[in-house]
Chain A
Amino acid sequence: MRMGTGYKQPTGVKKDIKTEGVGYKSDVNIVNRPVTNHGLSGITSTSHGPKRKIYDKSYYLNLLKSKNTEISSEISKFKKEIDTINKDNSSYLTLERKYDVLINDVRQLEGELADYNLTQDKFRLGTKPEDILSLYHHIKLQNDKKKSALDDLFLERKEMENEISELQKQITDINQANEEKLNQLDPEQKAQYEKLRSENNTLISNIGYLRNELDKVNERLRDLDDRLKEDTLRQRAQHLREEKVSLLKKKEELELQTNESNLPFAEARERLRNRIKQDHSEILHCEKKIADLRKIISTYQKNINELEADLSEQKTDQDESHKYEALHKRDREMTDFMENFETTKQEESQQVDQLENTIVTLLEHMSKSITKSTALPSKNDVKDMKGDLAYTKGLVEDSETTYARVKVELDQRQADLDKINTLEGKIERENKNMDEKLKNMQDEMENKFPKIDQVKGEYDKEKKRLTDLKQQLAKIKPGMQKIMTTHSISHDTKKNQLLQNDIYKLLNSLEKKIATNESQIFSLCQFIDAKGTESNFSAVLNECMGTVHEINMENVKNSVK
């Protein structure tokens, strides 16, 4: 009888219908029928029967297994996703690198394209390549110059920056020292310091006033100078005066020298010594003067700097600032000249040396040419020589053309030689093959051709053998055919007999049955295996046994207590 597990209970059926099945045998009281908000809907189709009453261990185990499988599938999904993300990341990095490389290539190619476009434009305009070359060289030279200038500027800037930083450091140090000193000072000294500071300020303002006056005086002086320059007679007079002074000095010196030559040796030596001493003292005096002047200049420089700062702050009078700027410019020029005097002097002296050397070489050249000019050929000789020159030129041209022709021929011959060299190996191999063939042919000539009769005899023999064989086979053929037919007939009859035989039929049907049974057995075996693996309860059994054993042990312990 069929179990009633699959039977659907109609909604209106009385609950105590006698049906068989696991679920139906258990008594269930439905107290609260499921009712929706909008009327009676009856029992939903999902809950057929009273469901499982007891949730045993296997149920939970199955539930856990199913959840486990779900979790493992989710984990595998996540792993796959992680793998894909990692792959994408790696591919992204590689693609980014590729993109960088390609962008570089594109930029290069764009540059090339621009070059090509430029060349095309030039070609359209019909500019000569020489012009482009010269332009290129010119631009290159300019670029190089600018490059070197930039480098120099950069270096200079760096040096300046370093100097500035050093100076700033020094300034900060000094300021710090000043502050420390000021802090250490007594109140009286501080007051004195303040007083001095105010004095300094007043002096600075005085300096400004005096500078203005100086500028005015300078302006006046300039005006007077301009006037003097305009007046040629005065200028000339001034010039003559200066000349007179210098000539007088020279005269004195010459007089002294003339006197020295007349004087005895000891006196002359004394005078010389005195003069040397005088010169030395003068030099020392000059040097001192220079040092003083430099100091003054530096002080002025400082003052100017301060004034500049003041001016920039105040910006009161623009004309004065212009004047000041002009003064400052002149001063700067002077200081530059003073500073660069040594280097410029050296450069100039070097140039002078170079010029002297060139003059010497030129003089040598000139002397040589002068000596040559004495041994110049006559007009006729020159004519002859010109003729010879034309003739030799023609010869040279001929020889050049022949040289070019011979060169081309040489190249051709070289190529031929290379080909021959490569062919040499091939020829050697072919020679070897040909030698072998020749040997074989000679062998055949010696051994085979004299034995033509023998070969013919062999051929005849073979022919005879084959004809005999043919005859023999022809003799056998009909008999064999007969026997074959009889055999085939007998085979067919036996086959028919076999097919009609009951035992054969039975065997055939049995064989088919066996095949089907075998296939069924195989499928059943597979099914059994699957079920066996599904219903392998040994692990659960062992667990249960273990828990039973534990419980027993606990019971024993309790009973003993």
Chain B
Amino acid sequence: MSEVISATSFDQRFSSQNIFENDMSTFWMTTGLYPQELVIDLKAPHNLNELKLKSMRVKNIKIEACTDNSGSEFFEVGKKEMDNNSDSMQTEKISLTGANGIILLKIIIQEGHDDFASIHYADLI
């Protein structure tokens, strides 16, 4: 049971926990300047290959990972630049390289197509 342990934006209506629900009406939304971060605790070491992401207005995204529980050292495992789909959903698959024995995963939205961006669903494979 993975869960979000920290997020740089917090709004009770758009909780960061919503990213694990495959419901497009619920999402996590950024509420300030970029970059915005989300840290997911996987509770146990996992080997990851891919991150399926459903989002809106995200431009540049980077994924970092940490192998210990303390989160002392994150390293980059994936990166992607997304197109602007205007009002429609962005459905992307980000391949993660060298993401073995990972406990913490950080999703960093480096840039957005708009002032606000949202992540509707994140699936770790």
Chain B 1-35 interface 0/1 with A at a Cβ cutoff of 8 Å (1 = within): 00111110010100111000000000000000000
Q: Closest CB of chain A to B41's CB: distance in Å?
A: 6
Q: For the complex, what is the distance from the CA of A479 to the CA of B71, rounded to whole Å?
A: 9
Query: Is B86 interfacial (CB-CB < 8 Å)?
Result: no
Interface stretch (choices A68-76, A330-338, A480-488, A502-510): A480-488
Nearest neighbor of A476 in chain B, beta-carbon distance: B6
Question: Which residues of B are found within 8 Å of A478, using beta-carbon distances?
Answer: 5
Q: Which one of A465, A468, A475, A482 contacts B3 once the chains associate, using CB atoms below 8 Å?
A: A475
User: How far apart are B93's CB and chain A's nearest CB, in angstroms?
Assistant: 26
Q: How far is the CA of A476 from the CA of B4 in the complex (A)?
A: 7
Residues of B contacting A486 in the complex (Cβ-Cβ under 8 angstroms): 70-72
B39 at interface by CB-CB < 8 Å: yes
CB pair B5 A482 closer than 8 Å? yes
- Judge whether A553 is part of the interface by a CB distance below 8 angstroms: no
Q: How many angstroms from the CA of A465 to the CA of B12 in the assembled complex?
A: 9
- CB of A472 within 8 A of CB of B39, answer no
A530 within 8 A of B: no
In the complex, residue of chain A having the shortest beta-carbon distance to the beta carbon of B12: A469
Residues on B with C-beta less than 8 A from A483 are 5-6, 39, 71
Bound form: Cα–Cα A465–B16 in Å: 16
Q: Which of B45-64 contact A (CB under 8 A)?
A: none
Please name the residue on chain B nearest to A484 by beta carbon. Answer: B6
Q: Does A489 contact B (CB under 8 A)?
A: yes
Within 8 A of A (CB), among B65-80: 70-72
Residue numbers in A under 8 Å from B15 (CB-CB):
472
Q: Which of A469, A476, A489 contacts B5 (CB 8 A)?
A: A476
Contact call B72/A480, Cβ cutoff below 8 A: no
Provide the residues of chain B in CB contact with A479, threshold 8 Å: 4-6, 39, 41
Q: Which residue of A lies closest to B17 (CB)?
A: A472
Given contacts A465-B12, A472-B15, A472-B17, contact A489 B6 (CB under 8 A): no
> Is the contact region of chain A dominated by helix, strand, or loop, or is it mixed?
helix
Give the residues in chain A near B6, CB-CB below 8 Å: 476, 479-480, 482-483
Complex Cα spacing A6 to B81, Å: 80
Q: Which of A468, A483, A486 has the most CB of B within 10 A?
A: A483
- Determine whether the beta carbon of B12 is less than 8 Å from that of A482: no
Docked pose: A468 CA to B18 CA in angstroms:
14
Complex CA–CA separation, A469 to B15 (angstroms):
10
Known pairs A465-B12, A476-B10; A482 contacts B17 (CB<8 A): no
In angstroms, Cα B5 to Cα A271, docked, is 167
Interface mask (A84-125 → B, CB under 8 Å = 1, otherwise 0): 000000000000000000000000000000000000000000
* B53–chain A nearest beta-carbon distance, Å: 20
Enumerate chain A residues within 8 angstroms of B17, measured Cβ to Cβ: 472, 475
Complex interface residues of chain A between 430 and 472 (CB less than 8 A to chain B): 465, 468-469, 472
Which residues on B sit within 8 Å (CB–CB) of A469?
12
A482 B70 Cβ-Cβ under 8 A: yes
A430 to B20, CA, bound (A): 61
A residues within 8 Å of B by Cβ? 465, 468-469, 472, 475-476, 478-480, 482-483, 485-486, 489
Known: A472-B15, A475-B5. 15 other contacts (CB 8 A): A465-B12, A469-B12, A472-B12, A472-B17, A475-B17, A476-B5, A476-B10, A478-B5, A479-B4, A479-B39, A479-B41, A480-B6, A483-B5, A483-B39, A483-B71
Residues of B within 8 A of A (CB): 3-7, 10, 12, 15-17, 39, 41, 70-72
Would you list 21 pairs from A and B whose C-beta atoms are within 8 A, ordered by A residue?
Answer: A465-B12, A469-B12, A472-B15, A472-B17, A475-B3, A475-B5, A476-B6, A476-B7, A476-B16, A479-B4, A479-B6, A480-B5, A480-B6, A482-B5, A482-B70, A482-B71, A483-B5, A483-B6, A483-B39, A486-B70, A489-B72
